[in-house]
Amino acid sequence: MPPSSLRVVYAFAREMHPKTSDVFIEYGTAGFRTKANLLEHVVYRMGLLAVIRSRVKNGRTIGMMITASHNLEPDNGVKLVDPDGEMLEESWESIATTLANVSDNDLEKTVQEIIATEKADMALKASVFIGMDTRYTSPRLAAAAANGVIALKGTPKEFGIVTTPMLHFFVKCRNDNTYGTPTEEGYYEKIVGAFKNIRKRLPARGDYNPRLYVDGANGVGGKKLKAIKKNLTELELELFNLGGVGEKLNLGCGADHVKVTQSPPKGITHPPFQRVASVDGDGDRIVYYYLDEQQKMYLLDGDRIATLIASYIQELLQACNATDISLGIVQTAYANGASTKYIQETLKVPVEFVKTGVKHLHHAAKTYDIGVYFEANGHGTVLYSDKAKKTINRISQEGDPTERKAAQLFLDFIDLTNETVGDAISDLFIVEAILCARGWSAVQWMELYDDLPCRQLKVTVKDRSVIKTTDAERICSEPEELQLKINELVAKYTNGRSFARPSGTEDIVRVYAEAETRQQADLLAAEVAQAVFDLAGGAGTRPELPAAPEL
């Protein structure tokens, strides 16, 4: 682009999307995420960066998603999606952070440096797909994103309100036409179509009840399931929290609320033992639960979903006689210790631990022929290598009758999976297909193993960077005395385990603890939180300790 054109870009930025705050914002594990009123200049600049990234990738399409996922409504965010539908390449996160924080006066120089350093051919066509969630601030930010794309003579395509996984799917399909059609209808055709095919092969049986209650978090996932429901006879969806008048996104509902508070969402009533699925605000997380007759809650989280999927894939591999296909599960430090024990000792499947963040799980899962990854919060999917797909496809045509039947079913399961990123809708249909295949109720699913009681807390600190971690964030390396104190506290409790890790986006430290009983887990979490407050520069109110349990 000639210098005169670039000067127009920067003049437009100063006039229409000026940087009005000195608050530093960092591209974290899920992009930029903060109060919506701080983001307009950031989103505009990410439009510029998406165009540069597209040209670095020889004109392949890049995605931009406007969302703050499970955060409450006043927040918003933006993240970039790479050509294969995966998260932005990690080396570009620092580039994005730099671009977002420079002054308006330094914007021109910074953009030119990025173009030169990354050797972007600015004569190439550039394509950027833009999606947004249901927040009232999203349309304005999506418009800023489109302005940024247009400013560097890229071509934006706006999809309006879609789930985050849908946008990832569209980007993947645009750059790889063998994966699917890059439209909302194409998404339904592949994902929902695969579920319908599976159900033709596997009619409901046993204790499986095709009725499913869904908490939509007052977000986009519930809205899309409402659209799917119109042409779905294989599953009886009862939908709640769909964002009606006065209902707030993620407030008292959604996957994050259910997982963190370990309590049911508001706005929904159901019979005892009825399966309920809760998705989050942008539709990339899902957890299940049910209540017994005494209203005790049983949570089926991302660990449970991962073990259910992996165990069924094992069955399919055995039925196909596909003995040369490697299967692995990737977890984070938040995975319940009981799930890890079940995977290793009962399923006998390799488990790999990585740092928190989908990009880390996704990368590790790609090292297996079939990699299952889930965070305990319900964000996850399954990745299938070319070798796995070719092997299963070959068996579907050349195996004996039993092997062919299993392989054909397996191919439908692959189509049912959104391999680009964790997808609440795709994962919902995968879980329902497996429960149907086994004739299981939620209670039978829960009986696979017994979770250790756990608790998560947040501690506000003055500077989260003072805490450093190692061993997939399970060990605190700095300050050293904090890990020594955690070790001391954990040793007091049967099956105790705890860790503290800094947030990737704000000055808080997340504390996780598990132990033999609920009371012990609660106290261990509170004690570790207090240690973090004391040793890592806590800010605000000190954590309150619950009553001491009987040890």
Q: Which residues are catalytic?
A: 69
74 phi and psi angles, rounded to 5 deg: -65, -20
SS3 state at 540: coil
21 belongs to an annotated ligand binding site: no
3-class DSSP state of 305: helix
| 135 belongs to an annotated ligand binding site | no
Minimal CA–CA distance to 381: which of 333, 309, 444, 449? 309
CA dist., res. 83 & res. 168, Å (int): 9
375 known member of a binding site: yes
Rounded to whole angstroms, how far apart are CA atoms 276 and 295?
A: 13
Angle between helices 220-229 and 424-438 (to 10 degrees): 50
Q: Is 502 annotated as a binding residue?
A: yes
Cβ contacts of 166 within 8 Å, gap of 6 or more:
131, 159, 184, 187, 224, 283
Q: Is 280 annotated as a binding residue?
A: yes
**505 among the known binding-site residues?**
yes
Stretch (H or E) spanning 490: helix 480-490
Which among 153, 169, 143 is positioned nearest to 121, based on CA atoms?
153
Q: Which one-letter amino acid corresponds to residue 335? A: A
Q: Is 480 labelled as part of a ligand binding site?
A: no
Helices 164-175 and 424-438 pack at an angle, to 10 degrees, of 100
Please give the span between the terminal C-alpha atoms of the chain, in angstroms, as a whole number: 70
Sheet holding 62-66, edge to edge: 32-35, 75-81, 62-66, 127-132, 155-161
Total residue count of the chain as it appears in this document: 551
Identify whether the C-beta of residue 298 lies closer than 8 Å to the C-beta of residue 306.
no
Give the separation between CA 289 and CA 273, rounded to whole angstroms. 9
Pairwise CA distance, residues 169 & 179, whole Å: 9
284 marked among binding-site residues: yes
Tell me if 33 is assigned to a ligand binding site.
Answer: no
CB 498 within 8 A of CB 513: yes
Instruction: Give the residue numbers of the binding site for Mg(2+).
Output: 69, 280, 282, 284
Residues contributing to the annotated binding site for substrate: 375-377, 501-505, 510
Known binding-site residue numbers: 69, 280, 282, 284, 375-377, 501-505, 510
